[in-house]
Each structure stands twice: as structure tokens, then as C-alpha cells.
Structure 1
């Protein structure tokens, strides 16, 4: 099924219907990342800025929405890889650009929450381009140019993105979680460079969580977890 057709029809959608569909999928991705795949559909509709009837018209079953989110995330991942390869002359910078774009897709939060709800073929059949091949090609080129150490393999790229895109414990209570993940990704990317490479010049963004800030976050996280357990008891 094309991304530009209704769940129950092969007819192309109007521009407004396509926009509604994109808003619903984007909102569902965020809600599933925060609250899991069984989150209330009215919350997704609210975040998308549409009525619940519009959501059901686009996705009559929850399974349709699950599949739609998975296809949308993997499609965007492939597009990010191809765009980085096409627009960045330096393969190292292209890989860095792709990894930051992939981190924004929250793939490590969204896709694991949907596991067991469809098969690989169910999803990949709807994805126009796989990210694996262009990312692998960028890695090989960067290594050939001496920009990335030779013992790095594809999984060191993709699985680190999965790890970093998972939220910190405590749900969304740490408001700078996304920015911190991008900062930590830059630290990791610098670590992909070969021994003896020039010192990295990338300026670290995001929050610098020093010892004082970490202790404050730790206290908040543990305290809220204790309160939640006490309420359950």
C-alpha cells in the first residue's frame, strides 16, 4: 500500500487528507514512544490536531496505525540516509548527519514498542528504500578515506542510534532528554575516528550534565519512582 493512499483504498488522497495522515502518524510516533502502542487513540488525535473520526477514517483498526507508524519511520530513515549521501561530499559528515536525523525519529523507542504486531515483510513491503545499503556505503567510503577506524561495522552505527533514542528512566520528566542524546551522539561519533586523528572540532551542544546536575536528576528520578511504587501499594 502506498503512503499516499487510504488504509482501505488504493485511490490517491487529496492534499488535506495526506496532511492529516502525516500529522496523525507523527503524533502516533511520539505517543507510542512515550506511552506504548496501546496508548489512547484520542490522545493521538489531540496531538495531531484532528478529530477522532478523522483518525479512524485514515486508520480503521489500531493495527493499521501500528503498521503506518512503522512504515513511516523506516521510510523516513531511508530518506535521511539517501539525502545525507546525496548532499554531503564528505562521507564522515554524511554519516554524522544521518545519525542525528535517525535519532530524531526515536526509532529505539518506537520500533521496539511495536514488536510482535507485524512481520518484517508486512513492513518492508511498504518501505520504498532501505537505509542499510546507503549507510553501509557511507561507512565504507569514510573508512577508505581514513575518517573512521577500520574495525567499525554497520551495527556500531545503527544499534547506537537505537540505544540513544530510548528515553532516560523516569519517562519524560527530564525535559532536555532529546538534546542530551544529540550531545552524547556527538561524543560517540568522535570516538569512531581512527587513532591519531586530529582532535575533533565539533562543539558539543545540549545540556552539560555535570556532577551537581546529575545528583539532582538522580534524586528526582529515584524519588518519583518511589512515590509511584508507594501509590501502587
Structure 2
């Protein structure tokens, strides 16, 4: 792909990500093209349909979140590494974008599978390091963490809150405090793995 074509493709995916967060997955593709600064023909030359664009946005976000998890391992304190990752994942708007993953996208396609596996391994490494140092409770797993992050960062329906991001990070702090071994509550059920969450009920 020529450099200018690659730049156009990246601009379209970035614009789509922003607009899916703001308006949901049914946003007009003409508006996405306008936000990206390209013509409609350019958008459709790169993406045959909405599903392909959704897939590429999902890939982008999953890759960025995995990158954040891997970068967090630079912290010397494993719990601070986990905290850094959780707040970074919130910045990626995973709560607003997570519904896209189930919207007719083949979650087991090779590219998505590769990025999802990389993400799971990176987050599990962060959590395992915290457990080894006695900084993370033993009765939580990757699925518990990722579901909480997705739920806590999901926009409230009909909310006109002007500082939603501030509330998100405040509530993530509360959640993270509950992951420390000193937390008093006993959790019901079993730790949730991502594999268990994908299993049909």
C-alpha cells in the first residue's frame, strides 16, 4: 500500500473510533469520511462495508489496550503497574467500544484472536506479578478485571454529565482498592476467566 493510502486508511479508522464512541456503531459512514478528511469513495475503497470498518476499529482498540498492558510492566510495583494499565484502558474508551466486538464480528478471526491472546497474556502477567508479591487478592482473574473496566467506562444512557471521565477514574480507584488482599469482602462464585466469559450459557 502506498504511504498516502496507508495514511488515509489510518485516518479513517481513527475517525471511526472517535465517532463510534460518540454516536454508536450506526453513525453514517459519510460522516466518518468527512471527519477523516477523505471522500466517500476513499472510505469504500479501503472498507467494503460497515462490518469491515467495525472489525478494524476493534483490532485497533484491542492492540492499543494490549500495548498499554505491556508498557505497564515497566513499573517496579506490580500493583501500580495494574493501576496504570486499568486507567490507561479507560482512556481507550473500552466500555463504549466493547459492544462493537459482539456486533456481527468474527471474534475468532486470526487477527482478532492474536490481539486478544496478546492482551490476555499481558494482563495475566500483571496480575500474576501482583499475586506473587502479595499485593493482589487471589480470588480474581483476568475476566473479573476486564469486565469491571468495560462496565465502569461505559457511558450512562441519557447522561449529560460534563465530567464523566472524572467519575470513571474515581470509580476505578474504588474498584482497584477492592483488589488488594486487605479487602474484607468474600467474593461469591469463582474467578472469571475470559474463556469462561466467552463460553455459551
**TM-score, with structure 1 as normaliser:** 0.70
RMSD: 2.3
Q: What stretches of structure 2 of length at least 5 have no aligned partner?
A: 184-201
Equivalent position to 2:29, from 41, 45, 48: 41
State the match for 1:58 in structure 2.
Answer: 46
Out of 170, 173, 178, the residue aligned to residue 183 of structure 1 is 170
More relative contact order, 1 or 2 (CA 8 Å, 6+ apart)? 2
Q: Is residue 24–residue 44 contact of structure 1 (8 Å, CA) maintained in 2?
A: yes
State whether residues 98 and 150 of structure 2, in contact with CA within 8 Å, keep that contact through their aligned partners in structure 1: no
How far does the alpha carbon of each residue in 1:153-212 deviate from its partner, in whole angstroms, 9 at most, with x for none?
A: 2222111111012101215x222112321121122112212218xxxxxxxxxxxxxxxx
Map residues 190-205 of structure 1 onto 2, 5 A cutoff: 190-195=177-182
1:152 to 140, 146, 149: 140
Partner of 2:56: 68
Matched, 1:109 2:81: no
**Aligned equivalents of 1:135, 1:69: Cα separation in 2:** 21
Residue pair 1:73, 1:107 contacting (<8 A) in 2 also: yes
Larger Rg: 1
Q: Could you tell me which of 63, 78, 87 is aligned with 1:91?
A: 78
Q: CA deviation at 1:128?
A: 8.3
Which moved further from structure 2: 125-134 or 114-123? 125-134
Q: Equivalents in 1 of 2:2, 2:81: separation in Å?
A: 34
